Amino acid sequence: MKRLILAAIVVLSSIKILFAQSAPADVNRVIDADKNFNKLVERRGIKGGFLAVAAPEGLVFKPDPIKISDFYGNIDKQPGTLNMQPNFARIAVNGDLAFTAGAYVYQNGNNDTDKVFGDYVSIWGADDDNKFKLLMNLGIQHPEAEQESLTDFKNPDSAKRVTPSKDPFSGKRIIMATDNVFNHSLSISTLAGYKEFFSPEGRYYFPGFEPLTGQDKVMKFIDNEGIIITAQTTNAGRATSNDLAYTYGKARIKKGTIVSNYNYVRIWEIDASHKWNILLEVFSAIEND
């Protein structure tokens, strides 16, 4: 009898696992995580909100990447208020990796003139309890937007799921190699690199400018600004379902005679042909050498 009960438990567990593997995750999970983060910031302040949702290895860019726990754990308080509103989000089929992006308003004072406007990007990873924790957060500053960005929330396509490799480090190596190939292509021709790797629906976040949506607009912006980019990959992460990934590193951007240093973060999404494309790219300015 005990063997029958044990067998039944094993079968039910297997059914649950198969169901979890076959049912794509819901993007509303990460949207809710983002909105709850915003509520925590409102109630506990910026420092308390970040510490409450930080993954152990979570990073913020201040301006270079530093652990969230190290940065906010070593300051008494960050003054001002921060309000964030997501308008762009995706989640991996397996639900272990996701991102949100949207507009923010930071205010350190009582007057409207004290407001700072911009856009943020947050990358989220599921912990052992399947709760989203903040893996990465950074943003750009720009003038107040004249109109709201289009909302783009989509659930994952299970057809893009790739069979996980038996090598747990394979996925990371592949996405880092892809990022390196893109960086190499930029050194040859910035426009050609974006034509080959940037998604038709991708978003581009560059300091001082409102986010751009679409490959054509991004390439036009790069051409008009005369931007030349060289970059080097630092690290990467990838969903176990192999459909969503991120990379980050250093970039030097030349505009005319001016050369500036940046950190970059890219979100990569795999297409139906199993080609990786950049769905989001954000540059965070750092001090020049």
Instruction: Dump pLDDT digits (tens) for 216-227.
Output: 999 999 999 999
Q: Which is higher by pLDDT, 126 or 150?
A: 126
* Residue given tokens 């999404």 in the structure block: 269
226: left (phi over 0), alpha (psi -120 to 50) or beta: left
What is the average per-residue pLDDT within 113-138? Answer: 96
d(CA 200, CA 146): 23
Question: How confident is the model at residue 9, as a pLDDT?
Answer: 46
Reported as a pLDDT band with limits 50, 70 and 90, residue 137 is very high
User: What mean pLDDT value characterizes the chain?
Assistant: 89
pLDDT tens-digit map of 249-281: 999 999 988 999 999 999 999 998 889 999 999
Confidence of residue 53 (pLDDT cuts 50, 70, 90): very high
Give residue 161's pLDDT band: very low, low, confident or very high (50, 70, 90): low
The answer, yes or no, to whether residue 13 has pLDDT greater than 60, is no
Question: Domains, the chain, ranges and CATH?
Answer: 28-159 (3.10.450.50), 160-286 (3.10.450.50)
85 φ/ψ angles, rounded to the nearest 5 degrees? -135, 110
Asked whether residue 183 carries a pLDDT value surpassing 60, the answer given is yes
**pLDDT of amino acid 150:** 87
More reliable by pLDDT, 239 or 148: 239
DSSP 80: S
Arithmetic mean of pLDDT, 153-178: 79
Q: pLDDT category, 163, cuts 50, 70, 90?
A: low
pLDDT band with cut points at 50, 70 and 90 for residue 169: low
* For residue 126, pLDDT beyond 70: yes
DSSP state of 8: H
Q: In this model, does residue 20 exceed pLDDT 50? A: no
Q: How far is CA 196 from CA 99, 185, 216, in A?
A: 23, 9, 12
User: Which pLDDT does position 156 carry in this prediction?
Assistant: 92
Q: Is 75 helix (H, G, I), strand (E, B) or coil?
A: coil
197-222 in b/e form (b: 16+ CB < 10 A) is bbbeebbbbbeeebbbbebeebbeeb
Query: Is residue 108 within 8 Å of 175, Cβ to Cβ?
Result: no
How much is the pLDDT for 186?
97
* Alpha-carbon distances, residue 34 vs 12, 272, 273 (angstroms): 33, 28, 31
Percent of the chain scoring above 70 in pLDDT = 88
Peptide bond into 63 cis (omega under 30): yes
**pLDDT value, residue 158:** 78
Q: Which has the closest alpha carbon to 205: 134, 123, 141?
A: 141
pLDDT of res. 109: 75
Mean pLDDT of 65-87: 94
pTM, whole model, 2 decimals? Answer: 0.89
Please determine, for residue 22, whether its predicted confidence score (pLDDT) is greater than 70: no
Neighbour tally for 118: CB within 10 Å: 20
